[in-house]
Copies of this chain bind each other. A is one copy, B any other.
Amino acid sequence: MGNRFIDKLKSYGVLDTADASALEAATARSQDYGAKADLIREGDRPGPVFVILEGWACRYKVLPSGTRQVTAFLMPGDCCDLHVGLLAEMDHTIQTITQAKIATIGREEMDRLMDAHPKVARAMYIAQLIDEGIMRAWITSMGRRTSIERAAHLICELYLRAANIGLVSNAELILPLSQLVLADALGMTPVHLNRVLKELKLQAAVSLQRGKLMITDPAKLMRIAGFDENYLHRRLRVA
């Protein structure tokens, strides 16, 4: 399986073997979670950095009315919230979507690791900057894209992020995201999302299985979304 976290950081800049083995050591102990398990809840005191080794998770907030908004998807290789230990409490919940294997890195350990391995620190900062770019793209989607564009845009994003970590084969990606979860991320009702996906299917851009979504024509999807991948920063500054 390999360690997708290390693979991802390597894609942000060369790591030497010492860097890689330090990361390997830091993520050696991992824990298995079932689907829909909270890693940390809104209001909790922040703890260690989570590193998703396998499976999918998401961040979300719940409103007084009980409705839910997913604010980010986490896939293998993603990690959350460098320095978050500086805050008194979490402003959102992090929950697994599927079964997942997750490592944690304590705050002091992470500080030491980044001090001793500047190239790792650099890669971690890049990962954080990209996550911020993704949030800006989500705000833009929610504010100014139609529901079809918005759905297509999210799926494009997930496709490219997954491709970066080798989750895509034959230009196909299987997303283990239910329509309920997608609707909570896209800020629409499940009913409406269902109609939107039907339309995308009609245009032969995606296909639907029960509970899974398969992307059959990424190029067409990008055209529908008006997708510009610049915010994923796959082209990085050469050092």
Q: Is the CB of A91 within 8 A of B187?
A: no
Which residues of chain B come closer than 8 Å to A191, judged between CB atoms?
Answer: none
Identical copies of this chain, number: 2
Q: Is A104 an interface residue (CB 8 A)?
A: no
Q: Is the CB of A136 within 8 A of B135?
A: yes
Q: Report A11 CB to chain B, min CB distance, Å.
A: 13
Q: Is A96 an interface residue (CB 8 A)?
A: no
Q: Is A59 an interface residue (CB 8 A)?
A: yes
User: When A87-B126, A88-B235 are in contact, do A63 and B230 touch as well, CB less than 8 Å?
Assistant: no
Which residues of chain B come closer than 8 Å to A65, judged between CB atoms?
Answer: 226
Q: What is the bound-complex CA distance between A136 and B81, given in angstroms?
A: 13
For A233, give the chain B residue with the smallest CB separation.
B87
For A237, give the chain B residue with the smallest CB separation.
B88
Per-residue B-contact encoding for A213-239, CB less than 8 Å = 1, 0 else: 000000000000010001101011100
